Every structure is written in structure tokens, then in C-alpha cells.
Amino acid sequence: MSLIILRADSRKKILNAIADLERHAGLKVRGKPRILRNDIADRMASSILGELRMKSSVAAAVEVEDDDTRSIMAIRRIHPPAHVIVVSSEYDEYNDLREMFGGLRVLRGYYSHKGS
């Protein structure tokens, strides 16, 4: 299983990016996507990737059934409308995100076309 952070400038782009993860990258979203505070998402993304060009206005976190490597390779093939970061278990942020994930509010408006 992988944890993924999505950062964007609108809720609509986040929802479209999550749909792209399933439709075009072939990843299976587990459960419901969660709302992540954009400042937390920016901090985690910056810690993993280094300096960010832009801050996000909206952020979400999703869990997918695929492992980190498969998730990264699948996402590299597509061009979602949001910044997508696979938080690998090798990063300290993984445990932080895993701990807070269940307590985050559900992101409304996303419905899997695969019927999860």
C-alpha cells in the first residue's frame, strides 16, 4: 500500500487527479480520499522533494493498494492536474501521514468508477 499526497490550486483539480490515478494510472484507491491541510501537505512535500515552486491552495491524501514503486511508475506515465507525491515508507513523513490519515475529514465528491 502507498500513501499519496495531492496538491493543487482547486478542489476540482484534486478530484480530477484522484480520478486519473484510477482511470489512467491503473491504481486502486483504497477507502475514501481525505482532506489534508495545505500547509501540512506543502511542508511534507518540501521535506521530501526539496524547495517547491508554488504553495498549494487545496490538498488531499489517498491510500492506494499498489506498492510505492508501482505507484511511482504508474503516476510518471500520466499528467494529472495536481502535484502528486508518493510518500514512500522510507521517509519520516510516511509515519506522520499514516498516523493522521484516519483522523482526516473525508474529501466529498469523489466516487470511484471501479465501484470501491
Domains of the chain by residue range: 2-102
Residues of the chain with pLDDT under 50: 116
Per-residue CA distances from 89 to 34, 93, 98, 106 (Å): 19, 8, 10, 23
Looking at residue 106, what DSSP letter applies?
B
Which three cell numbers mark 14? 484534486
Q: pTM (2 decimals)?
A: 0.92
Question: Residue 116's pLDDT is what?
Answer: 46
Question: Residue 113's pLDDT is what?
Answer: 67
The CATH fold assigned to 2-102 is: Alpha-Beta Plaits (3.30.70)
CA 59 vs. chain centroid, Å, equals: 8
Question: Residue 115's pLDDT is what?
Answer: 54
